[in-house]
Amino acid sequence: MKLARRLDGVKPSPTLAISAKAAELKSKGVDVVGFGAGEPDFDTPAIIKDAAKKAIDAGFTKYTPTGGIPPLREAIAARTSKRHGLEFKPNEALVSCGGKHALYNLFQALLNPGDEVVIFTPYWVSYADMVRLGEGSPVLVETTMERGFEPTAEQIHRAVGPRTRAVVVNSPSNPTGAMFSRATLQAVVDAVKGKEILVVSDDIYDRLVYRGKAENVLDLDPSLRPQVALVNGVSKTYAMTGWRIGWTVGPAALIASMQKLQDNSTSNASSIAQRAALGALTLPVDEEIEKMRATFDARRRHMVQRLNAIPGLSCFDPPGAFYAFPSVSALLGRRPAGQAEALQTDERLAAHLLEAHRVAAVPGSAFGAPGYLRLSFATSMEQIDKGVDRLAEMVHGLD
């Protein structure tokens, strides 16, 4: 069948593929440790689920305004205003079917053919493909573990040119958990200020912080506001990945354009999930959220310490999100005992880890960073120990 060319260069999400492969093995009774998934293992807090049940019982089951129910847009605007000490209005907030949908719509609404978007590697898999789907070109800027996965000011300035329309900042980051320092954020501000360039600040992990404070460009320079779109959602903070609620807060013209796209594609996000998200933002859930964060923190410390104790592995200490991102480059080129072929790439290593040692992890190549593995610590301590034991066993088995 003749299909649209625009999808030719777009790859299926490798993170979802690893999770699917792990799920398939599990369904066959194989005892797989899953470090692949990018979602909290906790249940959605009961009080939030109750808000959804009440919505169903009250018959709140019809179409809503495309951009989201007014109280949710108000709650998002209020939260964002409080967070940044600026006043955002509900018409500057748009509710979409998850943060992913928000970002997709944003690039569709922003880009024209040939426009460039600066993305720092390692990057969340979908950014580059979303830009391509918007007929733009991703400009990848490499960062390294040695520099805490932060670009230099010079790299930022060099990447921004006459065709740049956006710079994506994801701090804390998926896959590294790294956060941009004030100096790096300032370099982003300096590079874009006064130009036709939008800073797309993907703040989806901004409540999952273990060291320091997540800041974004608006905290450094509130006057940049007309050039900033903040993307966030309930998935990670409130353990609500399946509810599919995310949002964008940004310039009213951008929001109106994104809404036009939603009018003609998805319409509103689920009415029931919107009520649940409203519950998340307005009901007393802080204590439960803090418990989840503290649990992630304990797992993070444990996992990173254990990974760094494995010879050949070197793991950055992530200040945010829920991923460890160890370098495995010292292991590449080595051969599993008794096998003919050496593990030349992180992808081969991840495949071997899953097939021979039953641990699902995502190769760094999936994030534009060959030579690393991404291991999610959004799983129990017991699973972390079991998975790291198996990883250590794999390393010890290399010639």
Closest to ligand PLP by CB, 272 vs 331, is 272
Closest to ligand PLP by CB, 36 vs 233, is 233
Q: Which of 34, 36, 45, 98 binds ligand PLP (CB under 6 A)?
A: 98
Is 139 in contact with 159 (CB distance < 8 Å)? yes
Mark residues 31-60: x for contact with ligand PLP by CB under 6 A, - for none.
-------x----------------------
Question: Among the candidate windows 92-100, 133-141, 177-185, 357-365, which touches ligand PLP by CB under 6 A?
Answer: 92-100
Task: Kindly tell me the burial class for residue 1, based on how many C-beta atoms sit within 10 Å of its own C-beta (0-12, 13-18, 19 or more).
Answer: exposed
3 state SS for 346-368: HHHHHHHHHHHHCEECEEHHHHC
Total chain residues near ligand PLP (CB under 6 A): 13
CB atoms within 10 A of CB 355: 11
| Residue in the structure block whose two tokens are 């898999």 | 125
Establish if 123 lies at the interface with ligand PLP (CB under 6 A).
Answer: no
Establish if 204 lies at the interface with ligand PLP (CB under 6 A).
Answer: yes
b/e string for 15-34 if b means 16 or more Cβ within 10 A? beebbebbeebeeeeeebbb
Question: Among the candidate windows 51-59, 94-102, 367-375, 384-392, which touches ligand PLP by CB under 6 A?
Answer: 94-102
Stretch 210-239 residues interacting with ligand PLP (CB under 6 A):
233, 235
Is 35 in contact with 359 (CB distance < 8 Å)? yes
Closest to ligand PLP by CB, 236 vs 358, is 236
Work out how close the CB of 13 gets to ligand PLP at its nearest, in angstroms, rounded to a whole number: 9
Work out how close the CB of 262 gets to ligand PLP at its nearest, in angstroms, rounded to a whole number: 15
Q: Which of 44, 93, 101 is nearest to 69 (CA)?
A: 93
Type and span of the H or E element at 247: strand 246-249
Contact residues for 154 (Cβ-Cβ < 8 A; gap 6+): none
Q: Which of 73, 100, 275, 300 binds ligand PLP (CB under 6 A)?
A: 100
CB atoms within 10 A of CB 233: 30
Cis-peptide into 172, omega within 30 deg: yes
Is 41 in contact with 257 (CB distance < 8 Å)? no
Stretch 308-347 residues interacting with ligand PLP (CB under 6 A):
none
Is 376 in contact with 38 (CB distance < 8 Å)? yes
Closest to ligand PLP by CB, 40 vs 358, is 40
Work out how close the CB of 366 gets to ligand PLP at its nearest, in angstroms, rounded to a whole number: 12
Q: Which of 124, 210, 296, 322 binds ligand PLP (CB under 6 A)?
A: 124
The residue number whose beta carbon is nearest to ligand PLP equals 98
Closest to ligand PLP by CB, 206 vs 346, is 206
Stretch 165-184 residues interacting with ligand PLP (CB under 6 A):
170, 174
The arrangement of strands across the sheet holding 116-121 comes to 93-96, 246-249, 228-233, 198-202, 164-169, 116-121, 137-142
Q: Which of 41, 115, 129, 202 binds ligand PLP (CB under 6 A)?
A: 202
Closest to ligand PLP by CB, 164 vs 170, is 170
Binding site for ligand PLP (CB under 6 A): 38, 98-100, 124, 170, 174, 202, 204, 233, 235, 241, 246
